[in-house]
Amino acid sequence: MLNIVKNEIRSLFKIRKERMLPPPGSMPTFGSTIVLHRLKIQLRMTLEPEQWEWLTLKGWRTQDMRKNRRKYFKVPSKAVARLLHAAPEEREDIYQRIVTYEFDESHLI
């Protein structure tokens, strides 16, 4: 309840600040969570170093979800698998479809 009141006060007085993008961390392991804005990917496969470098250039970062209160749209695991198995020349097209997909409220977690 206290967090709801804090959030309302921050919104009312426009205290919210745009956060800076943190530096990319080490390559995430199987089961890690990576986020970009309001999108969240749960890694169900191991990334290659080249894939992680490409994702960090797009702004994706690892996120410890235990202390995170934000709401995210979970990217479907089939879309993540398609992205990570795509050839580098096809990856951009698949990525654009993922980040522009209209997630509905049922995907918000």
pLDDT of residue 72: 83
What is the pTM (predicted TM-score) of this model?
Answer: 0.70
pLDDT tens for the 109 residues of the chain, in order:
777 887 788 777 877 666 666 777 788 888 888 988 888 999 988 889 999 999 999 999 887 777 777 788 888 889 999 998 999 889 999 998 888 876 555 554 4
pLDDT of residue 82: 92
Whether the CB-CB separation of 74 and 35 falls below 8 Å is answered with no
What is the rounded distance in angstroms from the CA atom of residue 29 to the CA atom of residue 56? 15
